[in-house]
Amino acid sequence: MPIHNADIQLLFQELADLLEIEGANPFRSRAYRNAARTIGGLSESIADMINKQEDLTRLQDIGKDLAEKMEEIVQTGSLQDLEEARKRVSPELASLLKIPGLGPKKVKALHEQLGIDSIADLGQAAQSGEISKLSGFGAKTQTSILEELERFTSRDKRFTLDTVESLVQSLESFLTSISGVKQVTVAGSYRRRKETVGDLDILVATDDPDSVMERFVNHEDAAEVLVQGSTKTSIKHRMGIQVDVRVVPEASYGAALHYFTGSKAHNIAVRKLALERNDKINEYGVYKGGKLLAGRTEEAVYAQLDLPVIPPELREDRGEIQAAQKGALPELIKETDLRGDLHCHTDWSDGRQTLEEMARAAQKMGYQYLAITDHTHNLKVVNGLGPERLAQQIEAIDEINKRMKPFTLLKGAEVDILEDGRLDLPDAILQRLDLCVCSVHTKFKLSRQQQTDRILKAMDNPYCTILGHPSGRLIGSREPYDLDMDQILNKAKAGNCCLEINSQPDRLDLKDTTCKAAKDLGITLVISSDSHRTSGLQAVRYGVGQARRGWLEADDVLNTRPLNELLKLLKRT
């Protein structure tokens, strides 16, 4: 069974969680957590590196012991230390980690102080009011737990894009390698670049469907065969996601690709448009009477309806058909349009690599510039910078820029927005920076009015260049702040403060619909990686996908500008 990087990453994360629930040495759990982050950001396969006998300890945060653990996983498919931890910590207790807002420390406290061992126990304790009496919890936390439990029990299992991306690449490669296969395309919400994916729909064109399906059900990652037929076969992948393979004739490939890409709402709107023309459209083609008019390509399908091809990211029935009819579809931004990245971290705070290492990695990507935005001192847990250390970093960046011309490291900081809306560094040091990414990292549960006023006040500060991860959500684990986003958008429009599209796949913050609202108001946005290591700079592809879903073009995004123009636009004072 092949071992993907995601497998190793998940096993290390689970072990870190279980060790923390047990109250083990915090350095052990932190080491596994840091290693998991490193692995999650790699583009190269750990299994391939091991097969080539490459030195894993050259990777950030990977020492000899962790390298041996990675080899153990690749060679055996499991990790002995994790198996032992699973015996010590019951799966019912570990399942509490699935509830957003409950980390290992809180699970440990609930277990030790209230004897909570399962999600059922948690619900009973929350309903009875016991949790509110615990130190560090309180009534608000108890209410939040009840709300999250309700959401958890009704939520369908969905996967973030980074989780499924390596699986998609592996499955595409496998299917393409089968003799007689002519085309392979992953459709559905993955192709539309939705922020989460419920299942995978893969289309295959071949003259030998039975052979393809037989090979597919015997794929090494197939944990269970759900359906097997000559036109559709479904498996449960061992990562937990359902994968459907559909074999379609080449003459209908474009029509099937359109149909299975969706969305359902878009398909209904297209079908209605076809009916108005006395045509019929389905997964096999566009027909008039019994005659096939188009179906081989998506271009032909749309052309039959007098439409240009609508990019998959826009197919949500949010006005894209009307825009296509008017010739007003946006020319969507591409990853190659970006000239630089305006949000990343180094080992000066909680990043894993040096200023120069981050600069070299950005330069290798073809960027003209990279903004260093380490955390500021309100976040003591991540070694945030106070005025003195930030001044030292400014000097260090000046020295690097002398050596790396024409590439430029921009001087910045991710400045905390305090509860009262002040920034946690004085203007005297902020004015020495090229930009500030201002973000909320604490007090997530303020009332709607308090949270909104807090952020509006921060945006009034002339040194607030970019509002970082504006809604504060973590997909699947933390709901957005209770916030009046309309007020935030209007303030951004009035004050020339940019809003960030944070590309971290568990954030993708702003939402696609908010991106579209910002565009409609003429607000400039920024697509940033929020990277904490060199490999993390590549995460901008997720942010670009989110921007495309929000109808954004290159001119809507600040960091598509060349450096000289960017520097002028960054100044608010």
Per residue in 442-460, pLDDT tens? Answer: 999 899 999 999 999 999 9
* CATH superfamily ID and name for 335-570: Metal-dependent hydrolases (3.20.20.140)
Residue 44's pLDDT is: 82
Q: Which residue has the tokens 């279980």?
A: 18
- Residue in the structure block whose two tokens are 């108005």: 276
Q: What is the pLDDT of residue 213?
A: 95
Rounded-to-integer distance, Cα 389 and Cα 462, Å:
22
Q: What is the mean pLDDT of the chain?
A: 92
**42-75 confidence digits (pLDDT tens):** 778 899 999 999 999 988 889 999 999 999 999 9
3-state secondary structure of 26: helix
Residue 490 has pLDDT above 90, yes or no: yes
Average pLDDT over residues 135-140: 82
Would you say 527 and 501 are in contact if contact means Cβ atoms under 8 Å apart?
yes
Cα distance between residue 223 and residue 142, in whole Å? 38
- The residue count of the chain comes to 573
Q: What is the pLDDT of residues 176-197, one digit of tens each?
A: 999 999 999 999 999 999 999 9
Q: In this predicted structure, what is the pLDDT of residue 455?
A: 97
Predicted confidence (pLDDT) at residue 477 exceeds the cutoff of 80: no
In 155-230, which residue ranges form alpha helices assigned H by DSSP?
161-176, 188-191, 209-217
CB 201 within 8 A of CB 260: yes
Q: Which CATH architecture has domain 266-325?
A: 2-Layer Sandwich (3.30)
Cβ–Cβ < 8 Å for 59, 71: no
pLDDT score, position 142: 85
> What per-residue confidence (pLDDT) applies to 573?
54
Spatial contact of 236 and 224, defined as CB atoms under 8 Å apart: yes
Q: Which helix (H) or strand (E) holds 232?
A: strand 232-237
Report CA torsion sign: 267, 270, 274, 275. Answer: positive
Which pLDDT score, from 0 to 100, does residue 112 have?
Answer: 87
C-alpha dihedral over 331, 337, 343, 348, to 10 degrees? 170
Q: What is the CATH number of domain 159-247?
A: 3.30.460.10
CA dist 192 and 350 (Å) reads 33
Mean pLDDT of 126-155: 81
Could you tell me which residues are beta bridge partners of residue 205?
Answer: 183
**pLDDT for res 146:** 86
User: Is 571 exposed, middle or buried (CB count within 10 Å of its CB: 0-12, 13-18, 19+)?
Assistant: exposed
Instruction: Label residue 139 by pLDDT band (50, 70, 90).
Output: confident
- Taking only the tens place, the pLDDT of each residue in 235-288 is 999 888 999 999 999 999 999 999 999 999 999 999 999 999 999 999 999 999
Which is the CATH superfamily of the domain at 5-154? DNA polymerase beta, N-terminal domain-like (1.10.150.110)
Q: Rounded to two decimals, what is the model's pTM? A: 0.81
Q: Indicate if the pLDDT at residue 113 is higher than 70.
A: yes
pLDDT in tens, 393-438: 999 999 999 999 999 999 999 999 999 999 999 999 999 999 999 9
Residue-by-residue DSSP string for 84-129: HHHHHS-HHHHGGGGSTT--HHHHHHHHHHH---SHHHHHHHHHHT
Winning range, highest mean pLDDT, from 123-132, 161-170, 178-187:
178-187
Q: 49: exposed, middle or buried (C-beta count within 10 Å: 0-12, 13-18, 19+)?
A: buried
Q: Which tokens go with 106?
A: 């809180």
What residue spans define the domains of the chain?
Answer: 5-154, 159-247, 266-325, 335-570
- 8 A C-beta contact, residue 438 and residue 375: no
